[in-house]
Structure 1
Amino acid sequence: MNALAATAQLELVIGQAYGGGYFIGITQEDGKLYRNIQAPKAFELRGVIGCYSTDVTGARSYTDSRSNTEAYAAAGSELAQQVAALIIGVHADWGIPARDVQELQYRHLKPTAQDNYCTWRDGDNPSSVPAGYPYTEASPGQTPLTAFQEGGEEAFGANWYVSSTQFSAYFAYFMDFSDGYQYGDSKGDERSVRPVRRELIQ
């Protein structure tokens, strides 16, 4: 981690209220660093990302949740349109989490004490700062933050959440928040979404 990234990481702590929601970590893209913030649970949505059999060419980023969401919204996704229209406080730049941003949600705010699903590359995240490596059964563990633990007022459900990163014309990346299993599955399935936004650090 370079000095700038280290300094940026110290500005906020995981789960701290910030920017219309809660800080969940830092990602890097094209040499730039971004703070990522997730919306409060009250703004969690459930629906179908849609566009099944459609190649949404602007929805392939692993880090830019908003641009992916705008691409899906333009292609007719009602769920993406709902998220893109969210205004929380003064912030109107929310998106369905991109794959590597969604991974930060689980890594840092895992709701359950269940062992992680750790086959192949579950948890691999080259976009995070510091870079994330594949899960072990025990790591990451359940978040120590009570509000985000299973049953807490801000906790993720122990169920599947969809990302905005397209896997193919038929599939998107999904994640099981009970155990961290990452998978490409049908864009026609109903799933949960905890919206996110990001801010440029440098």
Structure 2
Amino acid sequence: MTKQAQQTVLAAELPERGQPLAGGVFVTRYWLNGVERALILLPDELSGPWGEYGVEIKGTHSHSDGEANTRAMAEAGSVIAMKALELDGFIPSCLEGQLLMAAKADGVVELREDRWHWLSSQRSADYAYGMAFGDGWLSDVGKGFERLARPVRSLPIQ
């Protein structure tokens, strides 16, 4: 029998930041598309290229909605995006990456500092955004390079 992933969280049941929630670590509360959400960092670490250099993927330009970006990436054949979705997670957007960096700076979560991490926000046909969690750099990176991705999950708060 397959375990059903948690779909929402009650505000009264939210743990402290940095505590376990829905198979990961609760990072923070944030608003996305008019809905308050809980951002959860999953324990998995993925590696691979974002996509094909020179190919623009429609639906991946959101700087806030990593789940929508990741779904568009997967539909276009991105292996790293498909792996994130298989975990019932997604690759964070630029906004969600910044929230992870803030949580790391606050000591709430631990993230690798020795490599760049993919974000799901695409800049152009050639570049997508990546983040270096050692110093918080957000930059565009050639999409064909192998980088890490730390999937997240986002649950509506009720």
TM, length-normalised to structure 2: 0.85
CA apart distance, 1:78: 1.0
Tell me what 1:107 maps to.
102
SS for the counterpart of 2:38 is strand
Structure 1: stretches of 5+ with no match in the other structure: 1-6, 87-91, 111-140, 149-154
CA apart distance, 1:30: 2.6
Question: In 2, distance between residues paired with 1:179 and 1:14?
Answer: 21
Higher strand share: 2
CA apart distance, 1:13: 1.9
Change (3 A) 1:30 1:82: closer
Tell me what 2:51 maps to.
50
Tell me what 2:73 maps to.
72
Match of 1:173 among 115, 129, 142: 129
CA apart distance, 1:65: 1.8
Mapped contact 1:52–1:186 kept (Cα < 8 A) = yes
Question: In 1, distance between residues paired with 2:11 and 2:82?
Answer: 31
Tell me what 1:33 maps to.
36
Question: In 1, distance between residues paired with 2:11 and 2:51?
Answer: 36
Q: 1:32 is aligned with what amino acid?
A: V
| Higher mean C-alpha deviation, range 66-75 or range 51-60 | 51-60
Tell me what 2:21 maps to.
18
User: What is the CA RMSD across the aligned residues, in angstroms?
Assistant: 2.0
Q: Percent identity, please.
A: 34
Aligned length: 148
Confirm whether residue 157 of structure 1 aligns to residue 112 of structure 2: yes
Question: In 2, distance between residues paired with 1:183 and 1:25?
Answer: 23
